[in-house]
Amino acid sequence: MNRISHWVNNKVLAGTSGKTGKVFNPATGKQESEVELANIADVDAVVAAAKAAFPAWRATNLSRRAEIMFRMRELVDANRKEIASLLTQEHGKVPSDALGEVARGLENIEFACGVPALLKGGYSEQASTGVDVYSIRQPLGVVAGITPFNFPAMVPMWMFANAIMCGNTFVLKPSEKDPSASMFVADLLRQAGLPDGVYNVLHGDKVAVDRLLEHPDVAALSFVGSTPIAKYVYETGTKNGKRVQALGGAKNHMLVLPDADLEMAADAAVSAAYGSAGERCMAVSVVLAVDSVADALVEKIKSRVPNIKVGAGSDPASEMGPLISREHRDKVASYVTNAAKEGAKVVLDGTDKAKDEGFFLNPSLIDHVKPGMKCYDEEIFGPVLTVMRVKSYDEGLKAINDNQFGNGTAIFTRDGGVARQFQYEVNVGMVGVNVPIPVPVSYYSFGGWKASLFGDQHMYGPEGINFFTRGKVVTSRWPDPRTSQVDLGFPQNR
């Protein structure tokens, strides 16, 4: 059995807990590896290595840091297929989707190569007579990233590229369900010339996360995962005096107005709902269809779904792979089974596929859903698209704003004025106008509102730089005996 251990000081480190987790190939349903699950001593050893590496890394000049990240950019680019194939093996996503994940992750490494320009402070000469004031941003120390199963390469790249380039040392606690990509990337960072201890991987479950949350030498935690755990991580980490950004779950609505191009809207809904088997925090899970076009839109979506080729990523024809685990697959299927009992109309039932050895489901389509139904109120995180019918733009907007989540949303319309109004009044962090999955490019920042994000800094981009640094303002005067005097009043600038 392949065994996956921790990564510390640029090499593999066996843990001491004796505990392991199972890593499956979701397409076959078979266990392929076991991953070590850290105990407190393991966490402490990894954090100690990161702490020891911090002073020298912090002192490493910006050009040298950028040079390493540029090399990393080349290495990831050259190894796209290798990383993608690890994603397919352990997560199940099909190669085109896995390659897309690597490409979007790589954007963040490219952004981080330019971090010297982003770390420039401000300077005010002669703020007072003979006095200059300037601001600088400094790293925090040891920072940790805790990541979900659904983007095992991209989400860590959202975090570590900026964290490291800002001068921090980094401990990644990846999902224990698909941990291999983080080990592969760790070795690429070693090849790029990153010094020992700057990027470390700690495998584990709640025990590891809890120790990171209380560890006195961890300055900040960046988390992505489900809402209950995000809330827990945010509350516990901040109580322990740490800086925390915690991104949670989602229920993304796509509002289709009567003037929209319905063919384009149906294509977008199908792509955004069933891509990656719906296991994306930016997946569309609810279509809000205005009554006058609802029947036509549901018909167009329904006609497209049977063309989706569900299968293992090893088959080049497959467009949608399996779900991450048997338990998750069964949970997703239960939403479809319940929906009919709750009064919704199951237009397409994909649960027949649940009999396969691998963790597959076929796509499901549920019409006439309403608030109060489980399939509407909860995040499903699977290949299930629900349709809620609304009378008007206003009713659609209200549904989105009433929802507990606020990660992504999209409006489909030809009316620029209405789209602008939507962007202005919708309470969601990432908005698409005729774009179903509006994941911001790396030079903007990623983050939802409401129960989709705890904390005040979004992930990556400029807010990522802010998150991984703290500001300092220096007020300086060089000795000039002509202006020196005793003055007990509060310093003024005139």
Which residues of this protein are in contact with ligand NAD, per CB under 6 A? 146-151, 173, 175-176, 205-206, 209, 224-226, 229, 247-250, 281, 379, 381, 407, 448, 452
Residue 26's nearest CA partner among 264, 356, 319 is 356
* 249 vs 404: CA distance, rounded Å: 10
At closest approach, how far in Å is the CB of 335 from ligand NAD?
A: 14
Q: Which CB atom, from 25 or from 147, has the smaller least distance to ligand NAD?
A: 147
* 71 vs 182: CA distance, rounded Å: 17
> Which residues have CB under 8 Å from 481's CB, separation 6+?
none
Q: What is the 3-state secondary structure (H, E, C) of 83-112?
A: HHHHHHHHCCCCHHHHHHHHHHHHHHHHHH
**Maximal C-alpha separation, the chain:** 88
At closest approach, how far in Å is the CB of 257 from ligand NAD?
A: 26
At closest approach, how far in Å is the CB of 95 from ligand NAD?
A: 20
CB-nearest residue to ligand NAD? 225
Q: Which CB atom, from 250 or from 262, has the smaller least distance to ligand NAD?
A: 250
* 322 vs 97: CA distance, rounded Å: 13
How many other C-beta atoms are found inside a 10 Å radius of the C-beta of residue 388? 23
Side by side, the strands of the sheet bearing 243-247 are: 11-13, 6-8, 199-201, 169-173, 142-146, 218-224, 243-247, 453-454
* 228 vs 207: CA distance, rounded Å: 17
At closest approach, how far in Å is the CB of 326 from ligand NAD?
A: 14
At closest approach, how far in Å is the CB of 232 from ligand NAD?
A: 6
Q: Which CB atom, from 271 or from 314, has the smaller least distance to ligand NAD?
A: 271
Q: Which CB atom, from 53 or from 208, has the smaller least distance to ligand NAD?
A: 208
How many other C-beta atoms are found inside a 10 Å radius of the C-beta of residue 171? 32
At closest approach, how far in Å is the CB of 459 from ligand NAD?
A: 7
At closest approach, how far in Å is the CB of 22 from ligand NAD?
A: 14
- The residue written with tokens 């510390």 in the block is 8
Q: Which CB atom, from 283 or from 419, has the smaller least distance to ligand NAD?
A: 283
Tokens representing 333 are 């299927």
At closest approach, how far in Å is the CB of 354 from ligand NAD?
A: 19
How many other C-beta atoms are found inside a 10 Å radius of the C-beta of residue 243? 18
Q: Give 133-197 as a DSSP string.
A: EEEEEEE-SEEEEE--SS-TTHHHHHHHHHHHHTT-EEEEE--TTS-HHHHHHHHHHHHHTPPTT
Q: What is the DSSP letter of 452?
A: T
Q: How far is CA 367 from CA 283, 287, 307, 388, in A?
A: 17, 9, 19, 7
Q: Which CB atom, from 248 or from 358, has the smaller least distance to ligand NAD?
A: 248
Q: What's the distance, CA 423 to chain centroid?
A: 22
Q: Which CB atom, from 81 or from 206, has the smaller least distance to ligand NAD?
A: 206
489, with CB counted inside 10 A (0-12, 13-18, 19+), is: exposed
Q: Which CB atom, from 54 or from 232, has the smaller least distance to ligand NAD?
A: 232
3-state helix, strand, coil in the chain (%, to 5): 40, 25, 35
Q: Which CB atom, from 195 or from 440, has the smaller least distance to ligand NAD?
A: 440
At closest approach, how far in Å is the CB of 96 from ligand NAD?
A: 19
As annotated, the active-site residues are 281
